[in-house]
Amino acid sequence: MKKLKLVMVGNGMAGVRTLEELLKIAPDLYDITVFGAEPHPNYNRILLSPVLAGEQTIDEIILNDWSWYADHHITLHTGFTVSDVDRVRRVVSATGSAGDVITAEYDRLILATGSNPFILPIPGKDLKGVLAYRDIADTQAMIDAAATYKHAVVIGGGLLGLEAANGLMKRGMQVTVVHVGDWLMERQLDDVAGKMLQKSLAERGMQFLMGAQTQALVGNTDGRVAAIRFKDGTQVPADLVVMAVGIRPNTALAEKMRLHVNRGIVVSDTLQTTTDARIYAVGECAAHRGIAYGLVAPLFEQGKVLANHLAEFGIGRYLGSLTSTKLKVTGIDLFSAGDFQGGDDTEEIVMSDPFGGVYKKLVIKDDKLVGACLYGDTVDGSWYFKLLRDGRSVSDLRDKLMFGESHLGDVGHQGQSKASAMADTDEVCGCNGVTKGAICKAIKDKGLFTLEEVKKHTKASASCGSCTGLVEQILMFTAGGDYSATPKTKAMCGCTDHGHQAVRESIRANKILTIADVFQFMEWKTPNGCASCRPAVNYYLISTWPKEAKDDPQSRFINERSHANIQKDGTYSVIPRMWGGETTADELRRIADAVDKYNIPTVKVTGGQRIDLLGVKKEDLVNVWKDIGMPSGHA
């Protein structure tokens, strides 16, 4: 049977994911041709931030290398921009960088043209040193600039802008973030979480100008940007300006083809354009029911439906997506999903601990969780997202909801507990739709022992990376002793080759007092560490040098950030911190007074030489912590 001709315009994540899904179910149905404007195979655009920060290389973020296209008999034209589509003759014309033109006929056409960064229409926008942040070329230009110049200004305090600012700061630049809003990431965070985020980033050295409106970019005699001027007449120096003020669906080709465009290329539930049934649109360029999605999970969901339709099964329908956000600045934990702002018809459950760097806000409507905003403790983000997506009543969980899936989120401290508690059908990687069962099966059948092997065989954690910790827990839970016994001296994590004992000895021998100094002195592979090593290093610092080391609340274990442990009877255990069992008469008096004042039924000495107050009522927790005046949770 003669194969149909499928042409795809765009070589990005959403489009190639569509081809991957299609090849799984109908590998011999089409001759496939792909046009990509960039000179690269498909790569993970989400991981450009770690590349900018020096944590990963370009090669490490390639999703489908050149051999993948060859192995699947896909004709790939990189460096070619599609300039025209003749819908009558069904011919695509593309122009290369040298001006050469090639054509391809199609029976079915996929438009996966993505989006374009929005550039502020202000004087000076065309100066040298003014960049967007969208692709590998932009990222490389910023890396090159950081090697020569000193002052960077990022316009936009949203998700992308903060990732760019963090990466440039890690490259040694002095970075100022200019944001027109009152708090950072106002589309993903409420004002409390946004201001906590700003405080945390400011402590790292990032500078902010909030509520500032850019008027013009000022150049020097060489035609390069030298400063940024604001509407109030003030200005700040800038050798590099990065505009991260939003994206717009790339609909130029679709408009030229006279397809229906409204915010994006308008598509039906089968991702067919409403103008021409032979033409499909997927990804950031598509507008489905009035929404153009910019996050990877919904784009992959679209790709699966589109592949199903191209395979002539015709049973898939895309009905829209619920999205969540996780910031990819290493060491900053935040998560949001749904209607986290709330309104007059909603209820809010809020826990705020500014000193400890933890904030949780859950929004409930009609006994259902409709929104969540988490800062500092995001271990239960995936659980909240599942409750949001399932739309189940949470009336029976209300008293426990704030404390997480295991009442207090202690699974984040215990590591394997969350993995063992999950059902095989539970989704682990939302981007790629990978369940716990699929990961466990791959680990057992293929003998996988590392995160990279799991990524390669299942694609779990290969996209946005927000599920990496959970995938590692499943790996430890499934592989067991084989996983932990691989090296003779087990490294703390993938960020370093050093083991726990070596880190502790180095902290003591060299009197290191901050996490950043540990990472620098011991040559950490990733500049900011990860959720595994940061809490351990923070603990080693404050236990070795309790009066001098700088405690980082964001890097504490979840059990230490939450300050108490829930018991089976619904009461709580509070264990004040005591280094090596040492305490003072004043501390003992405060503990004794709290026991009497709040009728705490049981007091015992733990095996770790600490005093454990058992049976504290939930409503008394805040006052107990306040009266004792000692950090708690160090069980």
Say yes or no: 352 and 402 in one domain: yes
pLDDT at residue 557 in the model:
54
Say yes or no: 337 and 385 in one domain: yes
pLDDT at residue 138 in the model:
97
pTM of the model: 0.73
User: In 3-state terms, what secondary structure has residue 502?
Assistant: helix
**Within-domain flag for 282:** yes
Say yes or no: 100 and 23 in one domain: yes
Say yes or no: 15 and 109 in one domain: yes
User: What tokens does 249 get?
Assistant: 């669906």
**Within-domain flag for 323:** no
Residue 622 domain boundaries: 563-628
pLDDT at residue 93 in the model:
98
Nearest to 207 by CA among 157, 267, 272: 157
pLDDT at residue 355 in the model:
80
**Within-domain flag for 321:** no
The tally of domains found in the chain comes to 6
**Within-domain flag for 207:** yes
Say yes or no: 136 and 220 in one domain: yes
pLDDT at residue 377 in the model:
83
pLDDT tens per residue across span 361-401:
999 999 999 999 999 888 788 889 889 989 999 998 888 88
Give the neighbor-by-neighbor strand order of the sheet with 101-105.
80-86, 91-96, 101-105
* 593: CATH: 3.90.480.10
Say yes or no: 402 and 471 in one domain: no
**Within-domain flag for 125:** no
Element (H, E) at 34: strand 30-36
Strands 358-365 and 368-375: antiparallel
**Within-domain flag for 79:** yes
Say yes or no: 290 and 235 in one domain: no
The structure tokens 């390639």 sit at: 62
Give the neighbor-by-neighbor strand order of the sheet with 261-262.
261-262, 264-267, 286-288
Say yes or no: 38 and 100 in one domain: yes
- Please identify, among 538, 557, 576, the residue that sits at the C-terminal boundary of a domain: 557
- Please identify, among 539, 557, 575, the residue that sits at the C-terminal boundary of a domain: 557
**Within-domain flag for 257:** yes
pLDDT at residue 42 in the model:
97
Say yes or no: 587 and 548 in one domain: no
Query: What average pLDDT values come out for the chain (635 residues) when binned by 10 residues?
Result: 94 96 95 97 92 89 95 97 97 93 98 96 96 96 95 95 93 96 92 93 93 96 96 95 96 98 96 97 96 90 95 86 72 85 91 87 95 88 88 88 64 50 77 83 84 83 73 77 47 81 89 89 80 82 86 60 60 79 88 93 81 86 84 58
pLDDT at residue 490 in the model:
65
**Within-domain flag for 612:** yes
Say yes or no: 517 and 434 in one domain: no
Say yes or no: 9 and 91 in one domain: yes
Say yes or no: 439 and 538 in one domain: no
